[in-house]
Structure 1
Amino acid sequence: MKPTNTAIQTSARLVIFDWAGTMIDFGCQAPVEVLLALFQQRGVPVSTAQARQPMGAAKRDHIAAILAMPEVAARWAAKHGAPPVEADVDAIYADFLPLQKQILSQHAAAIPGAVEVLTQLHEQGIQTGSTTGYTRELMEVLLPFATRQGVTPDFVLTSDEVPHGRPAPDMIQKIMSLSGIADPAHVVKVDDTPVGIAAGKRAGCITVGLAASGNELGLTQAEFEALSPEEREARLAPIRAIFQEAEADFVIDTIADLPSILAQI
């Protein structure tokens, strides 16, 4: 679905988006590619599902969550002679940052509809913000690619710029403070992960989950478009249920569908 040029009638004054899987990087491919490589290098390969499970958390927390999975921890102990400890988390995280910087540009394409929706919001005086599990160091690499495509939210906040990453509401609350929007009833959080929806709920915002373009489905745009309508519905139905269980107020496929939702707020 493509956004129209019709004015959006909505009480929302601030819309806060996630990045990978929401505005760029259909299927949230970049962080998964790096995590798979890093665990493979250490002789403890993890599955794509394991790499994706903590998605949305700050990246160090994400790595710690993978290492805490019983199956991964057991294989780590078998390989290295001891269970994983904080020093192992730190070592993987130290390698994560430079490798992620190397491949970010390969997964920086805007998701269809992102530029049009952001432009439409800006034209109507609705402020836009963004939160991410990426650090500021990583976003400094990514932002020029996003800006050249027209993905330009008003506020960009990263997980290392607040005391706590998602599911804590810290990033959302800081953007609200920067925007001057104090009432969360006028704020919409759009995210492709349940942990991002949880952050929005804790902040008191209206929340919108994205079922097709994000981490939960994990397909590239080409892979998604190759699915038949029946296959799409079969794959998306359980993902919509995940977001409903997370108490998302709305669940749509991609950012391109957002204008129709904003009109209901």
Structure 2
Amino acid sequence: MIKTSIEAIIFDWAGTTVDFGSRAPMGAFVKLFQSEGVEMSISQARIPMGINKWDHINALLSLPEIQAQWVQIHGRPHASSDVDRLLEIFVPMNKVSIQECGQLIPGVAELTKKLREQHIKIGSTTGYTKELLDILLPIAKEQGYAPDALSFSGDTPLGRPSAQMMHKCATQLGLDNPLSFIKVDDTEPGIEEGKAFGCWTVGVAVSGNALGLSLEELNALSKDEGRQSQGFGKNQNERNAA
């Protein structure tokens, strides 16, 4: 049996390293569709989470309940040009929400410091575009988190769940053995991205898209509600910070 050591960990952003509850993209998506006269819930907005933002908007427009509203308003199904236009509106909205929700998830700065002390490199992949990541990177750096390599939506021909962004990070880090990588993500497409690359994967639960609660909302739950929501013991919040 071939033994390999971990040389790099590739993290997602919203819900994994920043923005507890992955709230920034959701609020922007809901506002975006409201501006078009389409009512959409936060739960609906979360369904395609993890893929790039153009595909996310397209997937939302393809949901039967959203599509029906769109057709009623516009008299036709949506086209690619509609997605292009909506993305142009979405990006400024998401810039504002990123600035509002850019706090590091507790424990991330400490974790990455310890990883570097063990000579483990840190990378990131994200469904955010470069324009959005340019807003988020300095905010995270000020709080003590800065990856060594990154790939973003539009950086590769295919986004998640393909492995292309993972390969891009591996090239930047000068590493080529997938079994020396761990992919950490709070969305299914992000986990599938790691599996497509052939590396170890770790799913983030409590701070991520699936639960969708801010840290304040989570802490406001009673102990019984917290255990039921998390499916773990009362110290899960601390364990999840990684």
Normalised by the length of structure 2, the TM-score is 0.93
Alignment partners' CA distance in 1, 2:185 and 2:238: 10
1:16 counterpart residue number: 10
1:206 counterpart residue number: 200
Distance 1:253 1:56, change over 3 A: farther
2:223 counterpart residue number: 229
1:152 aligns with 2:146: yes
Distance 1:254 1:15, change over 3 A: farther
In structure 1, the residue corresponding to 2:128 is in which secondary structure? Answer: coil
Q: CA deviation at 1:257?
A: 5.5
Q: For the Cα contact (< 8 Å) 2:108–2:241, is it kept in 1?
A: no
Alignment partners' CA distance in 2, 1:140 and 1:254: 29
State the percentage of identical aligned residues: 44
Alignment partners' CA distance in 2, 1:80 and 1:160: 28
1:113 aligns with 2:107: yes
1:70 aligns with 2:64: yes
Alignment partners' CA distance in 2, 1:216 and 1:73: 23
1:139 counterpart residue number: 133
Q: CA deviation at 1:236?
A: 2.8
1:39 aligns with 2:11: no
Q: For the Cα contact (< 8 Å) 1:22–1:254, is it kept in 2?
A: no
Unaligned runs of 5+ in 2: none
Range moving further from structure 2, 75-84 or 206-215: 75-84
Q: For the Cα contact (< 8 Å) 1:117–1:256, is it kept in 2?
A: no
Normalised by the length of structure 1, the TM-score is 0.85
Q: CA RMSD in A?
A: 1.7
Distance 1:184 1:201, change over 3 A: same
Structure-to-structure mapping, 1:79-98, within 5 angstroms: 79-98=73-92
Alignment partners' CA distance in 1, 2:147 and 2:99: 19
In structure 1, the residue corresponding to 2:17 is in which secondary structure? Answer: coil
Q: For the Cα contact (< 8 Å) 2:13–2:125, is it kept in 1?
A: yes
Q: For the Cα contact (< 8 Å) 1:146–1:152, is it kept in 2?
A: yes
Alignment partners' CA distance in 2, 1:199 and 1:114: 21
Alignment partners' CA distance in 1, 2:140 and 2:164: 24
In structure 2, the residue corresponding to 1:66 is in which secondary structure? Answer: helix
Q: For the Cα contact (< 8 Å) 1:117–1:255, is it kept in 2?
A: no
1:58 counterpart residue number: 52
Q: For the Cα contact (< 8 Å) 1:59–1:133, is it kept in 2?
A: yes
Structure-to-structure mapping, 1:239-250, within 5 angstroms: none
Number of matched pairs = 236
Distance 1:103 1:132, change over 3 A: same
Alignment partners' CA distance in 1, 2:61 and 2:54: 11
For 2:117, which of 120, 123, 128 is the aligned residue?
A: 123
Q: For the Cα contact (< 8 Å) 1:211–1:253, is it kept in 2?
A: no
Q: For the Cα contact (< 8 Å) 1:44–1:76, is it kept in 2?
A: yes
Alignment partners' CA distance in 2, 1:256 and 1:73: 36
Cα-to-partner distance string for 1:175-231 (whole Å, 9 max, x where unaligned) = 112212211111000000011000001100100001100111110010011223322
